[in-house]
Chain A
């Protein structure tokens, strides 16, 4: 008998299989009335709630009018931190912007000083950014740089974790789906919090306003 059969037989002997339809209904019922067991949003508006959470975690947040304002905001950030050069995620929404004046590149070095990425969603409940892997979305772009700058379109803000879960399962699930909640950190030495453990030590979020339509 294979290990698989041994394990499944033991599981089914202890807990006999139920009707698949009934199990699915029971699983769905476990998610009823989500409001009763999740925390309230930090503010009534999604961008405000998101910003409160993200900044409490050590991220910096700024809001700009539209996508076209992003390069200018990025340039200010780079200047403020004395950074030259920027790795830009090869997403059309970012590469299509006018990067005159900033030395951009599309590869990610092991010790990349700064990289710019595009979030698929933001989650207001927790101040989380969502990134998915894909042809124009390398995962290492979110982990190798010291300064991680992320563009979040206000129109993609979702209130709760469950709202994102519903979108993830409705589409085809990517290889990696990542919720980024603040800059990398650790409390492994005496419980004291240190930023920039392995991932970015700085997370800067640029929320673009809704007047970036038409696209």
Chain B
């Protein structure tokens, strides 16, 4: 969905220069990191729970066909209609048609990253349907005309002051103060009317439970249930990898999902939606539709990115990523930002368009350390880098430079000579023990200083030390 964005490097540069953005990112990711650490510390069995979660996801992925058919059978038996979409365009078309068939004027939506992935917001607008985002953060970015910058906190790039400006301009009457509590009350009042007047409610799914045919949503605000209960039609869009064998398996995953995402133990509302309103039910939708979306997932299943299908979308990788915390989510340019997004965006948007993302990684491994289902994100990013090199997607100057370096590196004597010259030459740029600027390396030294080298290479010092031992 990155239509006509400037290149990644320009986006990243703009983000780095934005002090307000940095402040906003720090406020939320800092809290998230601390809360997750506390939740994990209070759960001594967390590592065992992670191992179980990983095993459950691997089992489902290895038997995905079996479970998809089981889910379809049981969801259909519950009275839901199951639809299949090969790609984003098909998924958009199905949802739009369902809304038009329902003669929908107003559609409420409960936050779903898959909905963003398939471009649902634009599709509904193009169909002339009023879309009301009900998650507080999604409400904020809808008012701002933006896309999510984080998969758990879509509006984390906005400070409270910026949110207050948006609410003052659009809420009638505007909130009386700009503290979060007053602004949340204002959104509650504004959205309450919308919930009860909607024709269709659209949600995503955190899990699809194969043996009951239920879809599961988790929210803290209660907006999912207010989205899915009053309208006549409930539509679920979900990726095919969201399947779990049973409710008990979902419980095992919930324990690690919520702790990794927000540091809570469970979200305030964990809801299983199983078919439309039953005869005699006090409330609920008359129709339920579930759209199962592939959009690149079977391609991942067949290739070297299969492990990424374990992802349960907790966002811990981005909260702990040194790059994400500097540039925020929008600079990545895809639906999914941060480390997990850098693996997924090349699948969704193509490697040629997203080649910079696997490279915008320091390989410090924090994402893999905190991933609740043990996805080796750095390894997967390296796989994209290798493929990018194989497919000759790097610019010519870069390829030539690396080629030249390789020629030298293949010849140890030459390499040592070059190192000896280099390390002595670098000393000439040192001031007070540090190198603050360097010709041709401004991109590096603009943001950090290098320690002035000792003037002798590692190999020289090692040789002397070995001599001394004799």
Chain A residues within 8 Å of B, Cβ to Cβ? 2-4, 6-8, 10-15, 17-18, 20, 23, 26-27, 30-31, 34, 36-39, 53, 57, 90, 110-111, 126, 128, 133-140, 142-144, 161-162, 164-166, 168-169, 173-192, 194, 196-200
Contacts and interface: CB of A to CB of B under 8 A. Distances in A.
A88 to B, nearest CB: 13
Query: What are the 4 closest A-B residue pairs judged by CB atoms, nearest first?
Result: A199-B222, A138-B282, A10-B298, A197-B221
Nearest to B293: A7
Nearest to B275: A175
A140 B211 CA distance: 27
B264 to A, nearest CB: 8
B247 A168 contact: yes
B159 interface: yes
Interface of B: 24, 27-32, 42-45, 48-49, 51-52, 55-56, 59, 61-66, 68-69, 78, 84-86, 90, 134-137, 140, 153-156, 159-160, 163, 180-181, 183-185, 187-188, 191-193, 195-196, 211-212, 214, 220-223, 225-226, 229-230, 240, 245-252, 254-255, 262, 265-278, 280-284, 292, 294, 298-299, 301-302, 306
Contacts of A190: 24, 27-28, 156, 159-160, 180
A177 B281 contact: no
A7 B84 CA distance: 8
Contacts of A36: 45, 48
A7 B67 CA distance: 13
25 contacts: A11-B64, A11-B65, A30-B55, A36-B48, A37-B51, A39-B42, A90-B282, A110-B192, A111-B192, A134-B281, A169-B211, A169-B246, A169-B248, A174-B274, A176-B273, A178-B269, A178-B271, A181-B265, A181-B266, A189-B160, A189-B183, A190-B24, A191-B156, A198-B134, A199-B222
A113 to B, nearest CB: 13
A128 B245 CA distance: 23
B70 to A, nearest CB: 9
A110 B190 CA distance: 12
Contacts of B275: 175
A166 B248 contact: yes
A7 B160 contact: no
B274 A15 contact: no
Nearest to A136: B282
Given A165-B247, A169-B212, A194 B181 contact: yes
Given A8-B69, A27-B59, A37-B49, A142 B225 contact: yes
Contact of A188 (B56, B135, B255): B135
Nearest to B191: A198
Given A3-B85, A23-B63, A110-B196, 10 more contacts: A7-B68, A15-B62, A36-B45, A39-B265, A133-B284, A169-B247, A169-B248, A176-B271, A192-B180, A197-B223
A34 to B, nearest CB: 8
B42 to A, nearest CB: 7
Given A15-B65, A37-B49, A110 B193 contact: yes
Contacts, number: 276
A197 B187 CA distance: 8
A185 B262 CA distance: 12
Given A2-B84, A18-B66, A11 B136 contact: no
Given A30-B249, A161-B251, A176-B274, A194 B282 contact: no
A20 B306 CA distance: 22
Nearest to A167: B247
Contact of B153 (A8, A23, A177, A188): A188
Contact of B68 (A11, A194, A200): A11
A11 B180 CA distance: 46
A37 B254 CA distance: 12
A31 B249 contact: yes
Contacts of A185: 220-221, 268
B66 A20 contact: yes
A126 B266 contact: yes
**Most B C-beta atoms less than 10 A away, residue of A14, A34, A184, A190:** A190
A161 B419 CA distance: 61
A144 B156 CA distance: 27
Contact of B283 (A139, A183, A191): A139
A15 B64 CA distance: 7
Given A165-B246, A190-B27, A37 B269 contact: no
